[in-house]
Amino acid sequence: MRERGTLEKDLTAQNIQINWVGPFPNFAPLLETLNARSTDIASGGSIPVITGLAGGADICLIAYRPPDIKSQTIVVPKNSPVRQVSDLVGKKVAVNKGGAGELVVLQALKQAKIPENKVERVYLGPTDALPALVQGHVDAWAIWDPGLSTAEEQYGARRLVENNPAPSYGVYVVRRPVLAEHPQAVKAIVDILKQEGNWATNNPEKSATILEKAMGLSPAVIKRVVANRPPEQVLPLEPKVIAEIQEVADWMVEQKVIPKRVDVASAVCPAAN
């Protein structure tokens, strides 16, 4: 959307000015810009958004994207002796603390009935985790795209788990004061996000070309990214989705990933109910 200039073109007539920030490697630095009031609307995975809400971020959920079944999982080096989750016992796994990567590992261990203290979690961001995996400083890496596709395509990394053991929704958030002061502008932006999502879903080749230019990644990596992605739909939050995000939030409390319970229904923007 940024490269297509759709927001700027469509909103100029409504006297709405658009300024882009980022891109960011994950949601944590983006959350900092929201807290600093230098970003008004953002998107991220529901897991890091829950972490932000638990930390007191003054944001609310206004829309969601389908879950990331193929675009996030655990990978190991191509020649690794680790062949199944149980082989991780006594090993080191790179994760982003309190984020989607950590939850993926915890859920994979739970499904394999392995105590979480049997596997060491090493807290690294994507920029540091990839070289750590390649150089053998960690044995596995819980990662999402484009890092996942980069590790597979350029370094021959192998999926330890084919699909995401803890699939999470993507969500769009807005700062509550911005929504209260400019509800029509926020609605206009979300409407265009929906249109652009439908365009990307219906035009995968053109979307891939734009992604290649925006991300600066090879065509082979971008091809994997596009193949892994769920439909680029931007959808209104519904009770079933809210309930499923709440289940993840409650599990995050149980696992002590976040310090307190987040009431997801209360975190949904009034305009989205």
Query: Identical fold at 6-67+168-272 and 72-159?
Result: yes
| Span of 1-15, 39-53, 161-175 with lowest mean pLDDT | 1-15
12 pLDDT exceeds 90?
no
- pLDDT, one tens digit per residue, over 130-151 is 999 999 999 999 999 999 999 9
Radius of gyration of the chain (CA): 19
Residue 12 exposed, middle or buried by CB count within 10 Å (0-12, 13-18, 19+):
exposed
What's the fold here for domain 72-159?
D-Maltodextrin-Binding Protein; domain 2 (3.40.190)
What's residue 119's pLDDT? 98
CB–CB of 46/141 below 8 Å?
Answer: no
Q: Assign 271 a pLDDT band (cuts: 50, 70, 90).
A: low
What's residue 151's pLDDT? 97
CATH number of 6-67+168-272: 3.40.190.10
Do β-strands 140-144 and 92-95 pair in parallel, antiparallel, or remain unpaired?
Answer: parallel
- pLDDT, one tens digit per residue, over 58-78 is 999 999 999 889 999 999 999
Share of the chain above pLDDT 90, in %: 55
- pLDDT, one tens digit per residue, over 35-61 is 889 899 998 889 889 989 999 999 999
- pLDDT, one tens digit per residue, over 190-221 is 998 898 888 888 887 887 787 777 777 888 99
Segments making up each domain of the chain, as ranges:
6-67+168-272, 72-159
Element (H, E) at 127: helix 126-134
Cross-strand partners of 120: 92
Higher pLDDT, 115 or 30: 115
What's residue 100's pLDDT? 82
Task: Give the whole-angstrom CA distance, residue 164 versus residue 162.
Answer: 7
- pLDDT, one tens digit per residue, over 233-263 is 899 999 999 999 999 899 889 878 889 999 9
Do β-strands 92-95 and 120-123 pair in parallel, antiparallel, or remain unpaired?
Answer: parallel
181 pLDDT exceeds 70?
yes
pTM: 0.77
